[in-house]
Chain A
Amino acid sequence: MSYFVYSLIGLAAGVCFILALKGLSTPKTARRGNMIGAIGATIATVVVFFYSKDGESLPLNNLGWILGAIAVGVVIGVPAARKVQMTQMPQLVALFNGVGGGAAALVAIVEYLNLGETASTPVVIATVFTVIVGCVSFSGSIITFLKLQELMTTRPVVFPGGRFVIAGTLATTLAAAVWVVIELGTNPLLILAALSLLFGVLFVLPVGGADVPIVISLLNAFTGLTVAASGYVLDSTLLIIAGTLVGASGTILTRLMAEAMGRSLFGTLFGAFTAKQQEATGAAEDRPVRSGSPDDVAILLNYARRVVIVPGFGLAVAQAQHTVRELADLMLAKGIDVAYGIHPVAGRMPGHMNVLLAEANVPYDQLAEMEEVNPTFAQTDVAIVIGANDVVNPAAQTTPGCPIYGMPILEVANAANIIFLKRSMRPGFAGIENELLFDPKTMLLFGDAKASLTKVVSALKNL
């Protein structure tokens, strides 16, 4: 295959990626967009096997190893993607992003070993960039995975002098980068990789749980840029195009997500160092709360005219989306006005709730976005908060300095009655006490969301 044809096919794959991102931006075309992206990636992968750059004969060297490795990747990747629970999707995306960053770093290292002394300075600089950012993306993504999987604390991890340690690591990493460019050698590059991995860990540790999705998006953009840089090293236009597209769109997406949460990107990354320490919440534990039975909840709902359901991560954990729909249908049959109030970042990822409720075939016209539903809470008789906490926490409006301050919330406090379905009094993902739980018009129903909702449904049926 001539270089021209090879490049032309690569360009076609690049166009597929543009169409894929475009398609993914609109609900109607999103699934097709993803398909087009997959087709582009397949074309790009297949065509490498039929082109040899240096006029060497085909097939490729080490063909058995290459095909075997692809098979291993498919055997690991596909079942993981197929079997993952809806609740665990965010961390899987984080993991996939991390391994992509790791792959880019490895590609750059191999190419560097291969070129040896013959590497030109721009190529070495691009290699150094790929290794640093790829490694940061890899180790950072692993930490986000551990946080989302709750294998480690979801709170910001800050240790004394933390910011100096991070700044020091960054400075050392950059110094090592300069060293690699000047000295050229395998050992400096490996030291650089190790330092970059360490920096990735330190960089993500101080980020609080609720901000983790933004960091995943940022690391995703990083990985895109590393792919572009390795495209430069390997002289592959396709990798440059694809990587740059992801880098650019990922940056915009990160900003959009930060805006949806009312956070600045800077505040997300470095907020833990500047935020005032939370005052001790020990005193709050002893305060009385009003807890009710499923029958109390059913009675309250039965005589309501308008009910807003606010779903959160607890709904996803309990897999209660079908039960909540059953409850909504029952109320609609009784002539009660029902809407779902969807916070853009409820759950662990933006749009998490929409996906979950769509699975239960909840009609779209019942889903109200935050700006739509907030003005209606004053006319709402009952707001049912199911497994959500931070997204309705008034501290976001009233307590400057708390980690979620400034995040737009669903103003359920304006409703006549509030029902919280919770597993326990544990604070939400951001780790902040919610004053609303102690409000006199709040009733708490403890237990697994699905079990509680099932009891409420049967109680409501009997009324």
Chain B
Amino acid sequence: MEPIAIISIFVLAVFVGFEVVSKVSSTLHTPLMSGANAIHGVILVGAIIVADHSKTNLELGLAVAAIILATINMVGGFVVTDRMLEMFKPKKGGENK
């Protein structure tokens, strides 16, 4: 990929990242952190790619370890975030501000 394309993607993503969370109530700090944590579990994709083109046993072994860790991060992260947010579900008193 062209370096300038990569830099553009990076800079734009930084601004989007800043923007989407700039106004969040402290109530949601923990679930938001946990959700973002689950999202970086997408490194699983990278782990699968390197496992695909591993040539030696050492490489494959490390790649398999990476897949296990990344899966724990991703799947566990989304499940635990959902459990936190489950608690917010049944409310009659309107929105929490």
Interface residues of B (CB under 8 A from A): 1, 3, 6, 9-10, 13-18, 20-56, 58-60, 62-96
Contact = CB atoms under 8 A, between A and B. Distances in A.
Contacts of B16: 18, 245, 248
24 contacts: A24-B21, A24-B28, A24-B32, A31-B88, A41-B42, A45-B74, A61-B51, A68-B64, A73-B68, A81-B75, A93-B37, A96-B76, A96-B80, A97-B37, A99-B69, A100-B70, A103-B44, A107-B46, A224-B39, A238-B42, A240-B6, A242-B39, A245-B13, A246-B39
B9 A93 contact: no
Interface stretch (A250-258, A281-289, A446-454): A250-258
Given A34-B31, A60-B48, A96-B37, A240 B13 contact: yes
Contacts of B71: 69-70, 72-74, 77
Interface of A: 13, 17-18, 20-22, 24-28, 30-31, 33-35, 37-38, 40-41, 44-45, 48-49, 52-53, 60-62, 65-66, 68-70, 72-74, 76-78, 80-82, 84, 89-90, 92-93, 96-97, 99-100, 102-104, 106-107, 109-111, 113-114, 122, 213, 216-217, 220, 223-224, 226-228, 230-232, 234-253, 256-257, 260, 344-345, 349-352, 354-356, 358-359, 361, 363-365, 367, 369
B34 A93 contact: yes
Given A89-B84, A234-B50, A363-B92, A106 B30 contact: no
A93 B36 contact: no
Contact residues of A: prevailing secondary structure: helix
A103 B70 contact: yes
A152 to B, nearest CB: 22
**B interface: dominant SS:** helix
Given A38-B78, A41-B38, A96-B37, A344 B26 contact: yes
Contacts of A81: 75-77, 79-80, 83
B45 A48 contact: yes
A40 B29 CA distance: 21
Contacts of B90: 361
A228 B65 CA distance: 20
Contact of A253 (B32, B68, B85): B32
Contact of B17 (A21, A31, A37, A113): A21
